[in-house]
Structure 1
């Protein structure tokens, strides 16, 4: 399942960047540039960080909502390792982003450290590195549900900094840019809880009660994702200024095409959720979890592909 999810996320990320125009390009003739491998490493580190963040959220959510107190330690130990991976990916993303934005190889970065430190993307990632490192240390010592709740708050806090440097943040400081950024934060919170919650059910808490509790959480997350995704797309694609702007941008720009693809993936996930409620949950209630597990594994792989699509969207003009 994990291997399938990684493969789906990477393949979709690469294809989406190439087709939508967000793929790294060679520096113009005569300019040094950061190099294509470093350019591709930026979305790669972002995808790795997102995957680790989802794993952290899955373990901590389980410890807080689904597991008995006696099983909290195991989940939080897993989360501590994932938080360490998240911190390392953030460090890699920080270095690669600084070099790519400045247009220089990594070997030149030390000579331009002060300039790199002024970049908002670098500052945001530096905050993420600190928060995720603290999170890893805290999680390694968690032994109670109360400690898991504190870790859950830190996880939410660590998700925010990179989101404050997205498409909405680079626009002028208007009510629309603030709304777009706030909507994106809520969107990512809901997506992390939905994906992480499903992964947690399969890995840690396979009981009927846990699945039913997650089903309620998933419904709330799906509604939040749908509303915030529609609002963010409407703001970025010009729908507020032109009634036809949203539809036109969907078919005339690479960014719009990725938004449309993400909407289709979301609709597919909602359909799978409906199938869970109509078919697999009643089957699970009879003591046969096989159907639920098969559908949930396929759902997680589709979710991983959607995460790859989201990373590509964040890197597409």
Structure 2
């Protein structure tokens, strides 16, 4: 799954014009490996975020508890979440270093000389907060035994997600109102996608019980609606830019960014079709033909991984 997402990420960056460019002769800056590592680390951090949130969602919402204490599968889920939080923290730390190197335009070997400048970057500060929160999350989850603690950790994970989102796409909004709308739309979009993908991953890993599947099915429907609506709104804001008009309509085939938006829309439509097929065909026959449901769900999670790769490429494409 991770390999699929990384391949999609690299291909999308190359095709849409977001891939790192070699430095002109005589100029110094972040090396090509560091420049390429930045989106890959972002993808790894996003996958770890989804895995952590999905495991916590499973422990809190989908899996049964025992008088407020986590049952066996719930305990397994929070331990998985602790590992994912640790990976999230490490990927964010490496991403912080790569981000500072790329933005400041200095090699890693000289980054220490510019530590004060790096500390003043909003992107670096937000990642530093994420690193602290995810490190705390990993420690708390390693000893989590109750549903209440898992709920607190779910809130902590949500807080860790928000910071980097507040620094995204700042230069392409037109007014303060559009800025607030773009940020709010992006936050809802990412939260809904995280719950949708993470929840499906939790189902595949932790349970085969019909009540959990039905609870997730209702949750996935609301997430799909939120992802679709906010995705279109965010794309229109960014494609429209400062020029006015309906950029989503005119640019999705005339710019690399628009092409990636179109690709994400196609992937989203495919995921909605899979969800519809689940409700129409595989859920009613779950007791008699469970393998059909799980095969389709496994394919769905692979497609979701590719969509995450597209999303990361989109965030790195002009």
Question: TM-score of the superposition, structure 2-length normalised?
Answer: 0.95
Deviation at 1:241, TM superposition (A): 6.1
Give the corresponding residue for 1:113. 115
Deviation at 1:288, TM superposition (A): 2.8
Change (3 A) 1:240 1:29: closer
> Is the 2:239–2:247 contact (alpha carbons within 8 Å) kept by the matching residues of 1?
yes
Deviation at 1:238, TM superposition (A): 1.2
Deviation at 1:67, TM superposition (A): 1.1
Give the corresponding residue for 2:38. 42
> Is the 2:174–2:241 contact (alpha carbons within 8 Å) kept by the matching residues of 1?
no
Determine which of 189, 202, 205 is the counterpart of 2:204: 202
Give the corresponding residue for 1:276. 278
Give the corresponding residue for 1:7. 3
Give the corresponding residue for 2:51. 55
Distance 1:274 1:134 in 2: 39
Unaligned runs of 5+ residues in structure 1 are none
Give the corresponding residue for 2:62. 66
Aligned length: 312
Stretch moving more, 21-30 or 243-252: 243-252
Deviation at 1:298, TM superposition (A): 0.3
Give the corresponding residue for 1:293. 294
Deviation at 1:237, TM superposition (A): 1.2
Give the corresponding residue for 1:81. 83
User: Equivalences for 1:197-236 in 2 at 5 Å?
Assistant: 197-236=199-238
Deviation at 1:245, TM superposition (A): 2.8
RMSD: 1.4
Give the corresponding residue for 2:258. 256
Partner deviation per Cα, 1:38-93 (whole Å, 9 max, x = no partner): 00000011000000011101110000011122132211011001100000000000
Determine which of 173, 183, 186 is the counterpart of 2:188: 186
Look up the SS of the partner of 1:104 in the other structure.
coil
Question: TM-score of the superposition, structure 1-length normalised?
Answer: 0.95
Look up the SS of the partner of 2:285 in the other structure.
helix
Partner deviation per Cα, 1:154-209 (whole Å, 9 max, x = no partner): 11111111111111466466110111011000000000000000010010021111
Unaligned runs of 5+ residues in structure 2 are 66-70
> Is the 2:173–2:238 contact (alpha carbons within 8 Å) kept by the matching residues of 1?
no
Look up the SS of the partner of 2:117 in the other structure.
helix
Deviation at 1:242, TM superposition (A): 4.3
Give the corresponding residue for 1:246. 248
> Is the 1:169–1:177 contact (alpha carbons within 8 Å) kept by the matching residues of 2?
no
Distance 2:113 2:174 in 1: 31
Deviation at 1:223, TM superposition (A): 0.3
> Is the 2:58–2:199 contact (alpha carbons within 8 Å) kept by the matching residues of 1?
yes
Distance 1:43 1:154 in 2: 24
> Is the 1:283–1:289 contact (alpha carbons within 8 Å) kept by the matching residues of 2?
yes
Distance 2:93 2:59 in 1: 27
Change (3 A) 1:168 1:229: farther
Change (3 A) 1:76 1:160: same
Deviation at 1:246, TM superposition (A): 2.0
Change (3 A) 1:24 1:224: same
Partner deviation per Cα, 1:212-234 (whole Å, 9 max, x = no partner): 11000000000000110011111
> Is the 1:168–1:236 contact (alpha carbons within 8 Å) kept by the matching residues of 2?
no
Give the corresponding residue for 2:28. 32
Deviation at 1:16, TM superposition (A): 0.5
Distance 1:282 1:240 in 2: 49
Is 1:145–2:147 an aligned residue pair? Answer: yes
Look up the SS of the partner of 2:29 in the other structure.
coil
